[in-house]
């Protein structure tokens, strides 16, 4: 079951993945599961990180892995919305 701080919303032409709270080693496994399911839908993946409050190395690695999956599968990924303070 995915953590409560992440939500995937199926849109007509894309999948919006919204992450809230921490994006750290503790949460990465659940976030990865949701992202892999989003890529499996074979539509553009949009990440909303505006409400992310904390990012550690595992969170940054997750973003790199998501980019690699995007390139490998040919499914575009982008970060949408305002930049979170945690990444400023």
Neighbour tally for 2: CB within 10 Å: 14
Interval 24-76: pLDDT, tens: 999 999 999 999 999 999 999 999 999 999 999 999 999 999 999 999 999 99
How do residues 11-27 score in pLDDT, each as one tens digit? 999 999 999 999 999 99
Give the separation between CA 5 and CA 3, rounded to whole angstroms: 5
**DSSP 8-state symbol, 76:** -
Would you state the structure tokens that stand for residue 22, as one six-digit string?
Answer: 């921490």
Nearest to 35 by CA among 23, 87, 88: 23
Hey, what domains does the chain have and what are their CATH numbers?
A: 6-83 (3.30.750.24)
The reported pTM is 0.88
């Amino acid at each position: 079951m995915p953590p409560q701080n992440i939500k995937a919303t199926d849109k007509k032409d894309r999948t919006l993945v919204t992450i809230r709270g921490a994006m750290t080693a503790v949460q990465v496994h659940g976030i990865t599961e949701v992202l892999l399911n989003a890529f499996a839908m074979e539509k553009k993946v949009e990440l909303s990180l505006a409400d992310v409050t904390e990012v550690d190395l595992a969170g940054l690695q997750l973003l790199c892995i998501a980019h690699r999956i995007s390139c490998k599968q040919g499914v575009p990924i982008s970060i949408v919305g305002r930049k979170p303070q945690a990444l400023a």
